[in-house]
Each structure stands twice: as C-alpha cells, then as structure tokens.
C-alpha cells in the first residue's frame, strides 16, 4: 500500500528543473564567503558531480556555487579565458586555477564595488575618458559588438543554458 499524498503537495518536475528545485538542490558554498579558498573551489569543480558539465550551466546551478547570477557567469568565464561550452574535464590545470580564482574574486569585488566586475583601475580610467557605466562596468557582459578590453577582438553574444552570455572568441577559444 502506498502512502497517501495530497495532490497539492505533488509537483511535476521535469528533468530540467530537478537540479534547481529548492527542496532538492543542496546549496553550494557561497562565493561571498571570504573563508572559501580557490583550492576548495578548484577541488569542487573537478569533483565527480560537476566535472563533466558545461561551465555555462554549471555556473547557473546554485548547488555548485552560490551567489553567481547571469552577469557573473559571463564575467568569470571571460576572466578565466574559458569558453562557456567547455567542461572542467576539458580544461588545463591553469584554466581551472584561473576559474577558481575568478569565481571568488569577481563576486566579492562586485559586492564591494557597486557591481563592477571589470578591472577597477581600467574601469576608473574608462570612466574618466568618457565611457558610460554600461561600457566600463563589465569585461564582456552586455558588450556585444564592442572591442575586447584585452585583445581588441569583437565581443559576441551567445545564448547558452537558456540565458544570454558574452564571450571574446579570441580570449575564450573552444580548442
């Protein structure tokens, strides 16, 4: 005999929604926790539940790391030089280290500096030379068609994981 459930207690979960359902997903460590170290983030990134998932979807999963919204997803991958279609297992040790450092540094800088994820000195310089906030605030997010701050190539907008993401095709190569 099965247990009886009230129909109102039962939600139909699609395969897509299960990982993010609040009663199922366990929250990952919060990137604003200053006690969290890049080594711990790197270890988590390379662990079995996460290492074969695309960074694009991994970064939107609060069960992986907490506190990363869509613009931080773009910015962390840009700073780490990682294409969002890549998986942790596809990356070099240097890329994983760069990712882990950026996954902590960018949310923490953004929290303390009014949402600015760009290099702070560069952002100040750009502001003084007449750039508007939307053009100096981020490295790549929202900057499609504009030159990459690092290499001058054109920033592209792509849809991945159902959300918009911005990449530099030169700084974030697939291969």
As a whole number of angstroms, the distance between CA 53 and CA 50 comes to: 6
**Closest distance to Zn ion from the beta carbon of 4 (Å):** 59
167 binds Zn ion (CB under 5 A): no
**Closest distance to Zn ion from the beta carbon of 167 (Å):** 9
As a whole number of angstroms, the distance between CA 146 and CA 109 comes to: 23
Nearer to Zn ion, 36 or 168 (CB): 168
168 binds Zn ion (CB under 5 A): yes
How far out from the chain centre does Cα 161 lie?
Answer: 11
**Closest distance to Zn ion from the beta carbon of 77 (Å):** 12
Nearer to Zn ion, 83 or 137 (CB): 83
As a whole number of angstroms, the distance between CA 123 and CA 102 comes to: 17
In angstroms, how far apart are the furthest CA atoms of the chain? 73
**Closest distance to Zn ion from the beta carbon of 160 (Å):** 18
As a whole number of angstroms, the distance between CA 166 and CA 143 comes to: 7
Residue 61 CB coordination number (10 Å): 18
Bridge partners, residue 156, by sequence? 167
In a 10 Å sphere around its CB, with 0-12 CB exposed, 13-18 middle and 19+ buried, how is residue 103 labelled?
buried
Please tell me the count of residues contacting Zn ion according to CB under 5 A: 7
Binding string, 116-155, against Zn ion, x = CB under 5 A? --------------------------------x-xx-x--
Q: Which stretch binds Zn ion (CB under 5 A): 1-9, 103-111, 132-140, 163-171?
A: 163-171
**Closest distance to Zn ion from the beta carbon of 170 (Å):** 4
104 binds Zn ion (CB under 5 A): no
- Residues of this chain that interact with Zn ion (CB under 5 A) are 148, 150-151, 153, 168, 170-171
């Amino acid at each position: 005999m099965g247990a009886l459930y009230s129909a109102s207690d039962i939600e139909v979960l699609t395969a897509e929604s299960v990982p993010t359902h609040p009663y199922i997903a366990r929250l990952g460590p919060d990137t604003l926790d200053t006690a969290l170290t890049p080594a711990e983030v790197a270890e988590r990134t390379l662990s079995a539940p996460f290492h074969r998932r695309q960074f694009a979807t991994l970064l939107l999963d609060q069960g992986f790391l907490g506190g990363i919204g869509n613009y931080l997803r773009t910015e962390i991958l840009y700073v780490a030089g990682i294409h969002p279609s890549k998986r942790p297992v596809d990356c070099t040790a240097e890329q994983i280290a760069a990712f882990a450092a950026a996954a902590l540094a960018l949310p923490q800088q953004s929290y303390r500096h009014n949402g600015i994820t760009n290099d702070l000195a560069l952002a100040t310089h750009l502001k003084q030379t007449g750039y508007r906030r939307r053009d100096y605030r981020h490295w790549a997010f929202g900057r499609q068609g504009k030159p990459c701050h690092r290499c001058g190539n054109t920033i592209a907008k792509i849809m991945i994981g159902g959300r918009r993401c911005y990449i530099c095709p030169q700084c974030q190569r697939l291969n």
